[in-house]
Amino acid sequence: MVTRQNTEYTRESMDWVSEFQRETGIEVTIEDPETISGEMFATHHEIIQYPCVCVLREDDSKIVQKWAGKLPQFEEVTYTLRDA
C-alpha cells in the first residue's frame, strides 16, 4: 500500500491494512511517498493517487492490479493474489 501519513485517509488506510492482515494472514508493505524509498516506488509504478493498494508479481515486482484513491474489498485483493 502506498499512503501518506497524517492525512484524512491515513486512519482508514491503517485500519484496512490491520484488518486485511488479520483476516488473511498476508503481510502488507506500506510505502509513504513522502520518503525517498516511497517516492521512488510511487514514481516507478506511476502512482499519483493515494491511498493505493498494489498487487505485485513475485518474480519481477511488476504491478498485476492496483486500486488508487479507494480501498478495495479484501476479496478483490485475495482473488488477484491467486493469479500473481
- Structural domain span for residue 66: 10-83
- Res 20: pLDDT: 98
Q: CA separation (Å) from 14 to 6, 42, 54, 62?
A: 11, 18, 15, 24
Q: How many domains does the chain have?
A: 1
Cell numbers at 26, concatenated: 498476508
Give the model's pLDDT for residue 61: 84
Residue 61's alpha-carbon distances to 12, 41, 54, 76, in angstroms, are 26, 11, 10, 19
User: Do the domain assignments include residue 64?
Assistant: yes
* 77 domain-assigned: yes
* 10-residue averages of pLDDT along the chain (84 residues): 94 97 96 96 95 92 93 96 80
Instruction: Report if residue 49 sits inside a domain.
Output: yes
Q: pTM score, two decimals?
A: 0.89
Q: Does residue 21 belong to any structural domain of this protein?
A: yes
